[in-house]
């Protein structure tokens, strides 16, 4: 193999702990994300997703040559069409946070370079569904809210199914904060980061504001306001906005609250 780094060419591809189709999905990589190869076993590759350093096995056929990217998909999901026409043939769908190379934008259509298993070199997506890779937003929570109703899926990062840590990771990346993959590692990231403060108790929850994080061992979510949170809930099997007191009472353990350091 000429290169040790390849790039996802499918809409997304599964990562597994062992090179077997029957193995439980541990994570996913999205279109345009790069994969550092460490081992090869037949049709399987072991290595790490360079977006979050998560390691696992993935299918060789879902990867291809690397290219630079200019933009990120910012809608829950977008469709790549053969022509800049809503009636044109669908080539592939791209989930939120897919990495794409935009060649031109004209009449609300973005012409993108294709790096997939078709013979097509270009495709077109709505320019309303993308964000330049260097553009970050303060209200990153709106990207989590755009995922309301997406089914819960253990190990999922594709917008057809996400788990709790993926929802936080994908959303917060729009602010330019790139988290590890799993909820415990995310908690440790916040705990060690001087821009955040971990609180065991919040008096009356009156300090909670939009964008704070709430964490229990094994679960993580995002504060919407003093009364509500959004999370990928295994209990409800989807991304849902839920009252804080309902979640806290159901989990029946005291959560940890992660606040911005300038709050307290």
Angle subtended at Cα 128 by Cα 125 and Cα 131, rounded to the nearest 5 degrees: 95
Q: pLDDT tens-digit profile of 192-246? A: 999 999 999 876 656 799 999 999 999 999 999 989 999 999 999 999 999 999 9
96 close to 119: Cβ distance less than 8 angstroms: no
Average pLDDT, the chain: 94
CATH 2.30.30.40 applies to domain 71-132: yes
In terms of Cβ atoms closer than 10 Å to its own Cβ (0-12, 13-18, 19+), residue 138 is exposed
Which range, of 31-35, 69-73, 114-118, 182-186, averages the lowest pLDDT?
Answer: 114-118
* pTM, full prediction: 0.95
Distance CA 246, CA 244 (A): 5
Q: Which fold has domain 5-64?
A: SH3 type barrels. (2.30.30)
Distance CA 112, CA 207 (A): 44
Q: Is the pLDDT of residue 187 over 90?
A: yes
* DSSP labels, 39-56: EEETTEEEEEETTTTEEE
Amino acid 137: pLDDT: 96
Q: pLDDT tens-digit profile of 8-67? A: 999 999 999 999 999 999 999 999 999 999 999 999 999 999 999 999 999 999 999 889
**Is 71-132 in the same CATH topology as 5-64?**
yes
Number of C-alpha atoms within 13 angstroms, CB side, residue 113?
14
Domain residue extents for the chain: 5-64, 71-132, 141-260
Q: How many CB atoms lie within 10 A of CB 30?
A: 24
Q: What percent of the chain has pLDDT over 70?
A: 96
Amino acid 1: pLDDT: 45
The alpha helices in the chain, defined as continuous H runs, are 141-145, 164-172, 183-192, 244-251
Q: Which fold has domain 141-260?
A: endopeptidase fold (from Nostoc punctiforme) (3.90.1720)
């Amino acid at each position: 193999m000429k290169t040790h780094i390849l790039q996802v060419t499918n809409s997304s591809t599964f990562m597994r702990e062992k090179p077997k189709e029957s193995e439980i999905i541990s994570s996913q990589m999205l279109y345009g994300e790069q994969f550092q190869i460490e081992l090869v076993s037949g049709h399987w590759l072991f290595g790490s997703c360079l977006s979050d350093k998560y390691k696992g096995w993935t299918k060789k056929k879902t990867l291809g040559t690397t290219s630079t990217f200019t933009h990120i998909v910012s809608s829950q999901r977008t469709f790549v069409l053969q022509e800049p026409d809503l009636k044109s043939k669908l080539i592939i769908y791209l989930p939120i946070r897919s990495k794409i190379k935009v060649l031109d934008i004209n009449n609300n259509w973005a012409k993108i370079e294709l790096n997939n298993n078709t013979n097509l070199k270009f495709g077109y997506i709505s320019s309303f569904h993308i964000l330049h890779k260097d553009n970050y937003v303060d209200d990153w929570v709106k990207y989590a809210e755009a995922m309301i109703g997406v089914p819960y899926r253990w190990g999922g990062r594709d917008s057809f199914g996400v788990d709790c840590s993926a929802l936080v990771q994908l959303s917060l990346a729009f602010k330019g904060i790139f988290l590890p993959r799993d909820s415990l590692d995310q908690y440790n990231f916040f705990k060690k980061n001087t821009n955040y403060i971990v609180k065991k108790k919040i008096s009356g929850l009156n300090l909670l504001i939009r964008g704070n994080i709430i964490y229990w061992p094994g679960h993580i979510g995002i504060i919407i306001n003093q009364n509500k949170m959004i999370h990928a809930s295994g209990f409800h099997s989807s991304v849902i906005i839920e009252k804080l007191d309902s979640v806290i009472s159901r989990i029946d353990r005291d959560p940890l609250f992660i606040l911005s350091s300038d709050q307290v």
